Amino acid sequence: MSIESDKDEITLSNMPQNDEEIQPSQTSDNADPGRNKIFGVFYGIGVNINNVIGSGIVTSPGIIWKMVKSPGIVLLLWVIGGLVSMAGSLTYVELGVIHRISGGETKYLQTAFPNPKLMISYLFSFMYIFAIRPGILSAVLQSAAQYLWYTVNGTRYDVSFQPDKDGWHLPFSPFWYIKIIAVVILLVITLYHMLSNRWANYINQSLAAIKLVTYTIIAFAGICRLLGNWSTSRINWQQPISGNTDLTAYSSSILLIMFSYDGWNSLNYSLDEFRKPEKKLIYSNSISVGIVTLVYLLVNISFISVVPEESINTTDTDETIAATFFRQLFGGSEVMVRIFTALVVLSVVGTAASTVWSGSRVVVAAAASNFFPVYSYELRTWNKHFDTPINALFAQFIWCSLIIFFVGGSFTVTGFMLFSAFSMYSYWIFYFATGVGLLVIRYRNRRKLHRDLHIYGNEENPPRLSADEEKFYKAPLIAIGIFVLSGFFILTFSFVVNDQCPGLDSKQCRLQQLSPILISYGFLLIAVICWYILYVWWESKKAKRIIRIAAEEDNDKIV
């Protein structure tokens, strides 16, 4: 970085630099001059809101209410989720301003933890491609399939099976029909993304509009019902803070809430298209998280005010609470119930579609970095006729289908709970690492500043920050602290489970509740093995080969 300054003045910008120094670029345009800068504050707010609001808000509230049993505590948990997301978004603003290029956690972890050789960033990339993103997509598809089943049949699918048996013991049952429906939805979304980028964009924008309208209707209809029929609606609010004291309910609820808020960092993956991120990113992130938190609170208030508590506790409608909400709202009008439930289906499908689109681009970017040693060329290639990444989309479809069938069919935990919990736990491993990484970067820069003051400074002309560096945004330390401590809390508190499950002994019960975490660490172990093979074993083998060839050449010269 360089700026105009007097010759006699010493700034940190014109001091000798080394690999330890990490400073923001002078302008965001340096990141990728060939890209159009299309993101402003309002556009960024819209992108963030569309990425955050998804299937979680029409699936998680019923599950959380059923587990916690206290409306007041439920709302408090959603507020806490919003505060944690706000702290994370402010933390990511500083990381975005430091790097000012797209890439998200992969770039941030490379900067903070370059050793062992790219290990942490590789583990994130592996987990994001093979576990986190497919897990999120599978959870969204599971939710869409459940609501579609409800729209067609008028009831939630039957999940009453023996808890000591997994899904493989239930052939030709609704358990598997839901998974088949989810894969069919994924196939349809994948096909239209393969055929045309333009039409895919039109369809996705239309689905996003339907989503915003649907959730707005839910929020305002519930509030109007609460205010207009207080005598009936207040029943669920009579004991707002008395509920379940089982810590397992809260540990499970936290993961579901963070799943619903996930996406607050989406702008950090597209900073190449952001105009002056140092000025715009903080407003886009903070305003969008604030709006989402308000919407989530209104939707939860609506659900709790309209849906009878006994219908959540005594039936299997907790994962389709929006359908139950419309049934209570419209009474005996089955047609209206199915119409609005169909709107929920389209809303959730819209979330799945945006995930398919962005997920395929992640695969292309990874392939461009030779992440897949054998198939990188095929996966990064775009079809010349359709101008779409057909190979990446197809690979994503195959992998997500395998996860839906094989991972989703191997545990007694319901599909949405399983996929959302294991994807979020996996993500928070790296959210925590990224938050710690920012503190590492700050410490590294502070140490260099003190060193430069010692080497170059004097009483008459001490070093000073350049104009750009003085404007450099730094997240409040309390925000970083909340984000890091929340990550530590989520990663440890998730192990708190009870040992009392109907039909299961204590060991089987704990295993069932810990299954999402075990899946997460299973994927992480595979990632570590792959990193070792690529960056330790293979590099060592290449080095030995080079040494052997050099030795043979020397021998030939001697002869």
What is the CATH classification number for the domain harbouring 407? 1.20.1740.10
Strand-pairing partners, residue 274, are: 39
Token pair of 227 as six digits: 């205010």
Per the listing, tokens 């996966």 go with 379
Cα 437-439-443 angle, rounded to 5 deg? 115
The dihedral built from the CA positions of residue 184, 190, 196 and 200, taken in this order, carries a sign that is positive
Helix 56-68 vs helix 71-99: angle between axes, to the nearest 10 degrees? Answer: 130
Decide if 5 is inside a domain: no
- Cα-based distances in Å from 102 to 2, 106, 429, 432, 468: 23, 9, 21, 20, 21
Residue 435: which of 3, 23, 52, 113 has the closest Cα?
Answer: 113
Q: Which domain holds residue 303?
A: 16-558
Token pair of 331 as six digits: 């009474």
Exposure class string for 4-22: b at 16+ Cβ within 10 A, else e: eeeeeebbbbbbeeeeeeb
pTM to 2 decimal places:
0.83
What one-letter code names the amino acid at 483?
F
Decide if 285 is inside a domain: yes
Cα 308-304-80 angle, rounded to 5 deg? 145
What length does the chain have? 559
Interatomic CA distance for residues 175 and 165, integer angstroms: 12
Q: Where are the alpha helices (DSSP H) in 100-130?
A: 105-112, 119-127
Q: Where are the alpha helices (DSSP H) in 389-476?
A: 390-402, 415-456, 467-471
What average pLDDT values come out for the chain (559 residues) when binned by 10 residues?
A: 36 39 45 52 81 87 88 93 96 87 82 88 91 90 88 64 49 78 94 89 85 88 80 69 74 92 84 68 89 93 86 67 85 82 90 85 80 81 86 92 80 74 94 95 76 53 49 84 96 83 71 87 95 86 77 66
Give the count of domains, the chain. Answer: 1
Count of Cβ atoms closer than 10 Å to residue 279 Cβ: 14
Per the listing, tokens 């005996």 go with 332
Rg of the chain on CA atoms, in Å: 26
Interatomic CA distance for residues 53 and 58, integer angstroms: 10
Contact 481, 438 (CB under 8 A): no
Per the listing, tokens 């998280």 go with 289
pLDDT (0 to 100) of residue 397: 94
Token pair of 207 as six digits: 């689905």
DSSP 358-401: HHHHHHHHHHHTT-STTTHHHHHPPPTTT-S-HHHHHHHHHHHH
Strand-pairing partners, residue 11, are: 464
Decide if 323 is inside a domain: yes
Cα distance from N-terminal residue to C-terminal residue, the chain:
53
What one-letter code names the amino acid at 4?
E
Contact 54, 351 (CB under 8 A): yes
What phi and psi values does residue 274 have, to the nearest 5 degrees?
-105, 130
Decide if 10 is inside a domain: no
Which residues are CB-neighbours of 535 under 8 A, at least 6 positions away? 116, 117, 118, 119, 122
pLDDT (0 to 100) of residue 503: 62
Decide if 9 is inside a domain: no
What one-letter code names the amino acid at 93?
V
Decide if 151 is inside a domain: yes
Interatomic CA distance for residues 439 and 445, integer angstroms: 10
Decide if 335 is inside a domain: yes
Decide if 7 is inside a domain: no
pLDDT (0 to 100) of residue 1: 36
Contact 520, 422 (CB under 8 A): yes
Q: Is 464 helix (H, G, I), strand (E, B) or coil?
A: strand
Residue 355: which of 89, 128, 509 has the closest Cα?
Answer: 128
